[in-house]
Structure 1
Amino acid sequence: MAAPLIHLIAGARPNFMKLAPLVRALRADGRLAWKLIHTGQHHDAAMSGVFFDELGLPAPDVSLDCHGGGHAQLTARIMQAYEPHVIADRPAACVVVGDVDSTLACALTARKLGVPVAHVEAGLRSGDMTMPEEINRRATDAIADWLFTTEPSAAAHLRREGHPDERVAEVGHVMVDNLLFQLGRLDAGDADAQSAEAAAKAALDAAGASDAIAGPFGVVTLHRPANVDDPAQLAALMQSLGTLAARLPLLFPVHPRTRTRLEALGLTSAPGLHLLPPLPYRPFLALWRRATLVLTDSGGLQEETTALGIPCLTLRDNTERPVTVDLGTNQIAGTDPARILALALRRLDAIGGQPNVEVRRPPLWDGHAAGRIVSRLARDLLG
């Protein structure tokens, strides 16, 4: 009897990091067959291709090559491109992760064709319906058959929304699985680790920022429309970051959409604020793991900083990951540049310029979430 086949959906950079532990767990378990479907939502080498290599993901079995355009256009193109593969393979399940457009598009396509959907990282809620990600995650959860959650608040949201207990499984976080696995590789000091460190050093050297990491330093990431699409907001943020950089050197790997906005406005960096190119996962990890403070509007970094005990300011008005605030190192700073600067300076005063060494990981953030997910899928699909 052939093993049940599942489709693993990858679309954007965060998806790759969440799928890598699932691929390792599927290989270790051996009871399920799987295909990796890359929608192409992130398609350039800096944001996509290199991650397959460094995360240990195999080349995709299927590349849909769908990218660009607005949310509706992209979602529709992915659905059209994915549908023939669902019809041809008739997979036993479609596994989607996170909350990007690819997540919703493939979940909708599979479910309309009668294929059960598993949503990894289900139940997260920011309450902000202006965020495309919030719409994607709510809609995906509404049609999913398995709802794998990362934190207690996610399970509570799903139950309030009427999902039965048998569909909700609290498993931990595959992003933390990947983080701990990659940290182990860096700490091993082998050729791959040396390559990651060398890539990080090369990026610093090219930006003239090598001296910045000799003492305490911070890391910045920005890409959300609320922070980078409004010219006045982006200019004010850059001014606040420049002021902070006079106290704490800042490394800022610039997302392509953010760089486009900066160049259009003619904005340049202040002394101490070092603009870097987008970095692959492990070179970036090699940098920020030593940071004194992280400022970000990313969802993943909120969680990863909590897992490593590094102070984090989230440059948003809300978070769908409240466990990082309740149990972790995260603080919601909002989007007002003056408030962000004040909170950052206050945080530096509180920690005395030294990284936080207390690590309080949320329940089940132990590096074994992917194994729990694969065990549940295998049990249900084979049972």
Structure 2
Amino acid sequence: MQPPYKVMFLFGTRAEVLKLAPIIRLMHRDPDKWQAVLVATAQSDSRLLNDTLEYLRFHVDFSVDSSGIANTNEVDQLSQLLHNLNNVVNAGQPDMVLIAGDATTSLAASLISFYHRIPLGHVEAGLRTYNQYSPFPDEMHRRLTDDLATLYFAPTTGARDNLLQEHHPAERVYVTGNTSIDSVECNLQADFKHPLLQSIAADHRILLMTMRRKDNLGSPMKRVFHTVRDIIETNKDVELIFPVYPHPEEVALADEILDGHERIHLTHPLNHHDFLNIAARSSILLTDSGGLQEEAPALHKPVLLLRDETERQEAVDLGCVKVVGTNPTTIQQAVFELLNDEKAYRQMVQADSPFGDGNASKRILQIIKKFLENKKD
């Protein structure tokens, strides 16, 4: 097989395209060797994904008709995506398909790649909780995707060990680090300014919160919002920044519980550059996301995880992340400790990041190149 190699990137969420972006950029710099084909499904919020693509300055080659997908259940999403992605792969005829993470698009892409006998590379392979319903449906999406993958790009040695224990072929499993770390350093800006930061007193501490998982909607989210408001009201030098995900229930709860307080700042989702720079200037990060568990240790910021389990256990073991779930008492105690115990705070921010050195995308590209060079037509 001769270059340029055609690699099809499939993504349906903002998180997926951000993890694939460093690899796509490297391919764009070397058009004699690579042809990156970008396929967007917008399986969640299409506006958020489109804003992210515009921020990244990426041109999409195939935009899958996603009308109605975001508001359907997982079964209907998967059914529609399988049909649409089958047409895309037929039209694109890639040498390899590359996906990231555990969203429904990744599972659909892995099935289509298998049926077409096209090699599949899985970025961020091997993460596990071994609880099939937590996180739901991500845990099983990731396991099923790994069962169908050809190349496994494990972010950590722990993820590699999971894959080997499941009897995936050792010669196809690579520890690369996480591509999300590749984007951190290049996005940090020493003279960064933002209206949100300018509205906060210089001697005040910032809590930055993200919360958007489906399994946290409803009562868990209500508990967290009330708890965070109590924390702000009882700590006069602490302010909250909360980029609200555009889900109707989340917006309604944020407006009902958090709006109207002078030290609580609700905002639309931020682009990745602004978010990372605000995170770098925050004191504590509260989140139920996966990506921020990876980025925060590189920023030397403590993370309180608003989930009961994590598939990124290395960060917990090293002390970068503390699992607090959605229990009000647990959250309050953890925040109080970090606000008032300098030693506890220092232990979290000085912990080493387990997610790589910022060169994951280069390693992945080298592995793909070697694989395709050795692949017979």
If the length of structure 1 is used for normalisation, what is the TM-score? 0.88
Distance in 1 of aligned mates of 2:14 and 2:326: 24
The Cα shift of 1:359 comes to 5.6
Deviates more, 1:283-292 or 1:131-140: 283-292
Question: Contact (CA 8 Å) 2:305, 2:322: kept in 1 or not?
Answer: yes
- How far apart are the structure 1 equivalents of 2:130 and 2:85? 30
Runs of at least 5 residues in structure 2 that lack an aligned partner in the other structure: none
Q: Which residue does the alignment assign to 2:165?
A: 160
Whether the 8 Å CA contact 1:307–1:359 is kept in 2: the answer is no
Q: Distance in 2 between matches of 1:97 and 1:338?
A: 35
Task: Answer whether contact 2:244 2:250 (CA < 8 A) is retained.
Answer: no
Partner of 1:51: 52
Change (3 A) 1:265 1:15: closer
SS of the residue aligned with 1:267? helix
- Secondary structure in structure 2 of the residue aligned to 1:362: coil
Aligned partner of 2:174 among 161, 169, 174: 169
Please give the alpha-carbon distance, in whole angstroms, between the structure 1 residues aligned to 2:268 and 2:177. Answer: 32
Shift of 1:214: 4.9
Task: State the distance in 2 between where 1:347 and 1:167 align.
Answer: 42
Partner in structure 2 of residue 245 of structure 1? 232
CA offset at residue 220 of structure 1?
Answer: 0.8
Normalised to the residue count of structure 2, the TM-score between the two structures is 0.89
Task: Say which of 106, 109, 114 aligns to 1:111.
Answer: 114
Indicate the residue corresponding to 1:38 in structure 2.
Answer: 40
Distance 1:235 1:84 in 2: 42
Cα distance, 1:264 vs. partner? 6.3
Query: Aligned equivalents of 1:222 and 1:213: distance in 2?
Result: 26
**Counterpart selection for 2:101 from 91, 98, 103:** 98
Q: Find runs of 4+ consecutive structure 1 residues off by over 4 angstroms.
A: 352-357
RMSD: 2.3
Shift of 1:275: 1.8
1:150 to 148, 155, 159: 155
How big is each residue's C-alpha offset from its partner over 1:176-223, in whole Å with a ceiling of 9 and x where there is no partner? 00122222xx34x5xxxx6xx4xx41xx39xxx812565211111111
What residue number does 2:350 align with? Answer: 358
Question: Which amino acid is 1:172 matched to?
Answer: G
Give the match's secondary structure for 1:211: coil
Change (3 A) 1:332 1:212: farther
**One-letter amino acid of the structure 1 residue matched with residue 210 of structure 2:** T
Deviations 1:46-101 (A, max 9, x none): x1122123234x21011003232111111111111111221233211110111111
**Cα distance in 2 between the residues matched to 1:6 and 1:326:** 36
| Matched-pair contact (CA < 8 Å) for 1:218–1:294 | yes
Q: After superposition, what is the alpha-carbon deviation per residue over 1:254-289, rounded to whole angstroms, capped at 9, x for unaligned?
A: 1112x5245269723173332222212112222111
Q: Count residues in correspondence.
A: 361
Gaps of 5+ in 1: none
What residue is the counterpart of 2:81 in the other structure? 78
- Hey, what's the Cα distance between the residues in 1 that align with 2:16 and 2:254? 31
Distance 1:151 1:328, change over 3 A: farther
Deviation for aligned residue 1:328: 4.9
Give 1:361 deviation, angstroms: 2.5
Counterparts of residues 193-212 of structure 1 (less than 5 Å): 197=193, 200-201=194-195, 204=196, 210-211=199-200
Measured after TM superposition, the shift of residue 33 of structure 1 is: 2.0
- Partner Cα distance (2:366, 2:89) in 1: 23
**How has the CA–CA distance of structure 1 residues 274 and 128 changed in structure 2, closer, same or farther, with 3 Å as cutoff?**
farther
Residue 338 of structure 2: aligned partner:
347
Where 1:5 maps in the other structure, the secondary structure is strand
One-letter code of the match for 1:242? Answer: R
